[in-house]
Chains A and B, each alone.
Chain A
């Protein structure tokens, strides 16, 4: 019974597809609005309402954790493609504060747009867009993006080169790193995806509690501006 119903739905949507214009080609432009926070490679994904890169208030998937703690988007990319989504790797290397990145994506019949990139230096912070409905009307749409915390790692603010599974911040392309900090947060009180409380940092480059610089590595939302042109 259920199968029959789905088949009927499918044929209906196929019918509509013939008559309706699909949001096929979009152009995206992302501006990093922060003072001193870099974005790791930015993943843009067009997908159906059944898929998502992340959901606020839900536990991070292993793939999201890989992205948020180490900047590795391969897991998310594989999952989107497996769900018949379309993917644009907007950047493939970290981009610094102030940078603008642009690219185009054929969304196919996918109606929703999402984006993720890790924020460096943070423990598990990322800039995100979750399931924005791609409008049918051509035009340029501007969205302001917030910084999220994946909820998978305590924000100790210590720079420790290493794999994603290693506690600590894996790299700091933004500069102004400190060392020998004793650790900022000691507790990850919310282990689901939530709004990032922000870096604290200190002004002690050798010691203190944080390896981050409070004059350089803070931000307030929004952290990025995303302009999407629907053609």
Chain B
């Protein structure tokens, strides 16, 4: 159940196995089939993220669905270890391991500044699954961005939801601006210690750079202001 959409090939196999494709043509270029009564199909969404920062690559995003009653983080509350691993090391795999996760897609590549990355996601018709996306600003100690528990089911076919995303601080690592995994330092990622930080998620205050913070490896181009990314969700069918 959890890894329903690991890759397109597997998806196709699974769809064939469940009979979803059995009644329609595999020739996707043939639009004439649209006149036929629609077979029962999943709700399909296209999800894309654009990096709006100057020099903060976004770690390979993790995209998850889960019940609407859960959130992967909440401002003012303590980060889970899984979120800490994402926010400090850019590693979404522990979020993926959470029991609440129903479906997931983990990107293999970071999203470079200015770049767009997109995914296709399906949920069963009538499902109330919510969407969460999390990715780290890698030239920081523990900054991340994303969205959590965004409802999908109430979007109509063709509807587009566009949202500008803020940078959060996971509150799990002091912002020394040197123990960071991005290309500005290529240093430490995750560290289980939370000493020196407030141990709650809050909106990130930005970075100081080496001109204002002794020991910082960051340059002025690593500064960022909100929004740091643009999320677009479109329901395709």
Residues of A within 8 A of B (CB): 56-57, 146-147, 149, 151, 155, 157, 184-192, 194-198, 200, 202, 209-210, 214, 220-221
Contact = CB atoms under 8 A, between A and B. Distances in A.
A151 B225 contact: no
Given A56-B50, A147-B225, A221-B226, A189 B220 contact: no
A41 to B, nearest CB: 24
B interface SS class: loop
7 contacts: A56-B50, A185-B220, A187-B55, A190-B53, A197-B224, A197-B225, A200-B209
A190 B220 CA distance: 13
Most buried by A among B113, B220, B227: B220
B225 A56 contact: no
B114 A200 contact: no
Interface string B205-232: 0100101100000011111111110100
B46 interface: no
A190 B223 contact: no
B162 to A, nearest CB: 11
Interface of B: 50-55, 113-114, 116, 206, 209, 211-212, 219-228, 230
A200 B210 CA distance: 11
A interface SS class: loop
B165 to A, nearest CB: 11
A20 to B, nearest CB: 22
B186 to A, nearest CB: 16
Contact of A220 (B51, B53, B211, B225): B225
A189 B211 contact: no
Contacts of A155: 220-221
Given A155-B220, A185-B219, A196 B55 contact: no
A146 B55 CA distance: 18
A202 B230 CA distance: 31
Contacts of A198: 206, 223, 225
Given A151-B114, A191-B114, A192-B114, A200 B53 contact: no
Nearest to B55: A189
B230 A56 contact: yes
B50 A57 contact: yes
Nearest to A189: B55
A207 to B, nearest CB: 13
B110 to A, nearest CB: 13
Given A184-B220, A221-B225, 16 more contacts: A56-B52, A155-B221, A186-B219, A187-B221, A192-B114, A195-B52, A195-B224, A195-B225, A197-B55, A198-B225, A200-B209, A200-B220, A202-B211, A210-B211, A221-B226, A221-B227
Most buried by A among B53, B221, B230: B221
Contacts of A200: 209, 211-212, 220, 223
A155 B226 CA distance: 18
A194 B221 contact: no
A57 B114 contact: yes
A70 B50 CA distance: 28
Nearest to A192: B114
Given A187-B219, A200-B209, A202-B211, A195 B116 contact: no
A197 B113 contact: no
Contacts of A189: 54-55, 113, 221
